[in-house]
Chain A
């Protein structure tokens, strides 16, 4: 191949624009051709000279700062819009979710603590030689017994035709608040029903059934009273007793 053909490719060669085979072929030619090698060397040097000479102007510090500041401000303005459209609702949602989780977590912890206390009361009462202070299967005996002993009254269900029977009741305390502790029996299992006053409570909010420490729990609030049913029977029996108590008149 004549030298003119090679020299036509020298610019692309020094600029690194030739394919690898072409570049290798030209390099082979340059090793054997003094004229083309000198031409290639000149172009490399010229390119290097331009590269060095071309890096000449530097922006002033003030101008650099003003551009950077301007861009950042505009980006922030852009972000401001973005902020309004997306970030603010996202943050509000996040705050709400975190707050809700915190509230729910705290509420759950409080409930677990109450369940734990009630489970202790339930077990301690059943282990006692005198688990109830008023022994009667008659609700009309048990209910009046509490009068003057606790600062509220409540209704007990008619159990005729059910598997449940009333064992009796006693006064109990939870967090220094007095309440009623009733014992019911179903198929040789005792179930505790705790009733405590809850000021400003909304009507009939039912939670459960839940499990804590191997006991089933069901609780609800009705007419300013909070009811807890604790026992080792199945959830269906718990639910049935709960419904009887809620429907009691």
Chain B
């Protein structure tokens, strides 16, 4: 969603930002795990974005810019400050990459609720990168902009997040604990 120079000069902020409302809210709710906090976060995001709209760089990615504002707002919130700490824990939780079980059948059986439950249990850094990549279908470049990390880190974090998710799904499957 790159915004050409001319469009920035003529479009109102609302024209660009309102179509992202559902995506931003979904992402905010996943981050905060709470409807009211999510609403506050989205509201804060729009307020900050509107104030900073004049500083938005034309020709850059508006969606990534909005998501980055939302994420930064989350990081500075009380929930966010707590949530971003345990990144290393997830790394320890992950199954070794050499685990030979692709478990195709298991993933197929994993219903939506168990995936949601697994996502909920993951640390925010893993959860957010999975959401940005798989739900919002952002490119690695966009994700790097939102999270303010290099693309190489995006790839490695995404890889670890997927392994962690797979491990949780294995544990939730019938006999999954034994399987792990």
Residues of A within 8 A of B (CB): 11-12, 15, 17, 38-39, 41-43, 45-47, 49-60, 63-64, 67-68, 70-72, 74-75, 78-79
Q: Are A42 and B103 in contact (CB under 8 A)?
A: yes
Considering the complex, give the chain B residue whose CB is closest to the CB of A46: B107
Q: Are the C-beta atoms of B131 and A54 separated by less than 8 Å?
A: yes
Q: Is the CB of A47 within 8 A of B104?
A: no
Contact A63/B39 with A12-B155, A39-B102 known, Cβ cut-off 8 Å: yes
Closest to B141 in A: A17
One of A17, A42, A50, A57 near B134 (C-beta < 8 A): A50
CA distance A42 to B119 in the complex (A): 17
CB contacts (< 8 Å) of B103 on chain A: these are 42
Kindly provide the distance from the CB of B53 to the nearest chain A CB, expressed in whole angstroms. Answer: 9
Residue ID in chain A nearest B15 by CB atoms: A75
Cross-chain contact A15 with B140 (CB below 8 angstroms)? yes
Q: Inside 8 A of B29's CB, which chain A residues have their CB?
A: 56-57
B17 sits at the interface (CB 8 A): yes
**Interfacial chain B residues near A49, Cβ < 8 Å:** 107, 110, 112, 115
CB distance from A20 to the nearest CB of B (A): 15
* B26 contacts A42, C-beta separation under 8 Å: no
A75 touches B22 (CB 8 A): no
Contact pick for B25, options A11, A47, A57, A74, CB 8 Å: A57
Closest chain B residue to A62 by CB distance?
A: B39
B107 near A54 (CB under 8 angstroms)? no
**Residues of B close to A50: CB separation below 8 A:** 115, 119, 130-131, 134-135, 165
Question: In the assembly, what is the distance between CA of A63 and CA of B108, in Å?
Answer: 36
Contact B14–A54 (Cβ < 8 Å)? no
* B72 shortest CB reach to chain A, Å: 19
Distance in angstroms between the alpha carbons of A15 and B140 in the assembled complex = 9
Cβ–Cβ < 8 Å partners of B139 in chain A: 17
Would you list which residues of chain B between 85 and 135 have a CB under 8 Å from chain A? 102-104, 107-108, 110, 112-113, 115-116, 119, 130-131, 133-135
Contact partner of A38 among B46, B102, B169, CB < 8 A? B102
Nearest CB in chain B: distance from A59 CB, A: 4
Contacts of B162 in A (CB 8 A): 11, 43, 46
> Per-position contact with A for B129-169: 1 when CB-CB < 8 Å, else 0?
01101110101100000000000000100110010011001
B50 interfacial by beta-carbon distance below 8 Å: yes
Of the A-B pairs whose beta carbons lie under 8 Å apart in the complex, a sample of 11, sorted by A's number, is A11-B155, A11-B162, A38-B102, A43-B162, A45-B107, A46-B107, A53-B115, A57-B35, A58-B26, A68-B18, A71-B14
Residue of A nearest to B53 (CB): A78
Which A residues touch B133, using CB under 8 A?
A: 15, 47
Q: List B contacts of A74 (CB < 8 A).
A: 13, 50
Q: Is B57 engaged at the interface, CB distance under 8 Å to the other chain?
A: no
User: Could you tell me if B26 and A45 are in contact, using CB atoms closer than 8 angstroms?
Assistant: no
CA distance A63 to B133 in the complex (A): 26
Contact A67 B26 (CB under 8 A): no
| Residue from B26, B102, B107, B169 with most neighbouring chain A CB atoms (10 Å) | B102
| A72-B14 in contact (CB<8A) | yes
A68 closest partner in B (C-beta): B18
Q: Give min CB distance, A202 to chain B, whole Å.
A: 47
Residues in A neighbouring B169, C-beta threshold 8 A: 46
**A67 and B42: CB pair below 8 A?**
yes
> A39–B13 Cα gap in the complex (Å)?
44
**Closest chain B residue to A63, Cβ basis:** B39
Question: Contact: A42 with B112, CB < 8 Å?
Answer: no
State how many angstroms separate the Cβ of B132 from the closest Cβ of chain A.
10
- Contact residues in A for B22 (Cβ distance below 8 Å): 58-59
Q: How far is the CB of B61 from chain A (nearest CB, A)?
A: 16
Q: Does B30 contact A (CB under 8 A)?
A: yes
